[in-house]
Structure formats: C-alpha cells, structure tokens
Amino acid sequence: MSKVGWIGLGAMGGPMAVVLANAGHEVTAFDVADGRAQSLAGPGLTPAASAKEAVAEADVVALMVATPAQADAVLFGPDELAAALRPGTVVLLMATVGPAAVVSLAERLAPFDVDLVDAPVSGGTKRAATGELLMMVSGSERALAAVRPLLDAMASSAPVVGSAVGDGQKVKLVNQLLCGVHIAAAGEALAFAEALGLDPKETWKVLRTGAAASFMFDDRGSRMVDPENTEVRSALDIFVKDMGLVVDAARDSTYPAPLASAAEQLYLSGRRAGLGRRDDSSVIEVLRGR
C-alpha cells in the first residue's frame, strides 16, 4: 500500500482522502482550514500540521485544491514543497486547473525527478464519498503504475485518456462544458416554467424521466425547485472558474464555444449578485431575474 501525502480536504477532497484511507493506504493529510484534517482523523488517516509534514514520507502527493494558483502555491510557494519531495515521488493532481497550468507544473517538477499524473475528477460529493468518481487520467507509464491502486480506490472509472500531461485536463474541460451548460439549461427551463405559470417542481418531476432528462437536470433541478434547500454541494464559484478555463482553452484553439460563453456569463452574473459561495443550482436566481 502507498504512503500518500494529501493536500486539500474540502467538499471533494475530504471524502476522497477518507475513501483512500479506508482502502488501506497510509494517508497523511493537511488543509489550510484549521481543524479540518483533525476532524477526518481515523484509521489510516493522520492529520499533519503543515503541507511539508504531510508529504515528508510520501510516495505519492495528492493535490485536491480549487484553482491553478493554489496548486502552484502548494508546490512552489514559500514552503518550496517541490524541493522537499524525494526523487521518484509522484504528484497526483486531481483538481481542474486547465491544460496550460498542469503542463507548467509538470515541467517545473521534472528537475526534482518528480513525475506528475494529471487526473481531474467528476462525480460530486456523494460519489467522492463512495469511491465512485470518474477520473480522466494522463501521464507517463511509470507514474501511472505508481498511482493506479489509488485511482482504483477512489473511482469506479479511471480511464487513461492520453500519455501527455494535460490530456486529462482537456477531457475534463469537455466534461465541464457539458456540465456547466446543462446546469444553466436546467435553470433556464425551470425559470421558464415559472414564467408560464407552471409549478416548477411538478414540471421537473414530469420531465426528469423523459427525453430532456440529464444528470444535471435531475440533480441540480431538484435543488432549484426546493425553496428549503440551502446545502452547498458545489459552489457557483467553481463554475465561474471552470467555465473560464473552458472559454480560455476554446479561444486558444480558435474555437467559438457559443454555449459555453453564454453559460459563463450566467455564472459571472451569479457571482456579481453575491451567489458565489452558494450552491451552483442557485444560478436559477439569475434566470428568475432576482
């Protein structure tokens, strides 16, 4: 079993680290939020007082942060974590940071004899807690062999989508384009139902099993039509970031991406309206005109 230094214990990272520990791996974990690592402590999962302590004996360093800047700061910030890693260590980056950022990180880790596996995840917090995520994986054969037992513990599907670091991020951006547009479409459809004088919850119940159904319509739609729901499973700010990455990558490829661009504007409007830390299903409030 692997010794894993885990950085990032948020809504996704926390349950993923617990799943890995429950599978028999030795996880030493750190999060910048005080007390979060301690709250997850248990058999196989040891809290660390710092990121450097978390990775000191690690065979694999797992990063589950939110943004490219955070990934960069962890590895190359004031603590100089990259320089502290043992030669042969593998960094398993599971955050959505975009192809350019992950390629840059891999290139800067190479002089330390540290490989990077690009493995962004999809599936939400429920699947994170049950080890049923989708992971889109790319990297060298040696690095992939080192992390395969970890991938198999955290994901029900972890296909290798390419040998080059960055290929995983590219597939994840395609995934996020679909997810972001589907959430926005669900919000528009249910707000449209309200504008027509329909009961949105009853409309959602009728449509969720028909040809217009999607995972996002079923999942986010259920929260859009529940006035009592205040749970934050995935913050709207995440889609501000991810749709920005999609649109930037499309622009770099001279690809128009009109639906992604429109969805990005809705999420930006939501952030501007103060919804950034609310659940991403709250994008319906923008479409309601509130």
Residues serving a catalytic function are 172
User: What pairs with residue 92 in β-bridges?
Assistant: 62, 117
How would you write the chain as a 3-class SS string? CCEEEEECCCCCHHHHHHHHHHCCCEEEEECCCCCHHHHCCECCEEECCCHHHHHCCCCEEEECCCCHHHHHHHHHCCCCHHHHCCCCCEEEECCCCCHHHHHHHHHHHHHHCCEEEECCEECHHHHHHHCCEEECEECCHHHHHHHHHHHHHHEEECCEEECCCCHHHHHHHHHHHHHHHHHHHHHHHHHHHHHCCCCHHHHHHHHCCCCCCCHHHHHHHHHHCCCCCCCCCCEHHHHHHHHHHHHHHHHHCCCCCHHHHHHHHHHHHHHHCCCCCCEHHHHHHHHCCC
78 residue type, one letter: P
Query: Which two structure tokens, joined as six digits, stand for 281?
Result: 């299903």
CA nearest to 70, candidates 201, 218, 274, 238? 238
Give the separation between CA 105 and CA 116, rounded to whole angstroms: 8
Strands 121-122 and 133-135: antiparallel
- Paired sense of beta strands 133-135 and 115-118, if any: unpaired
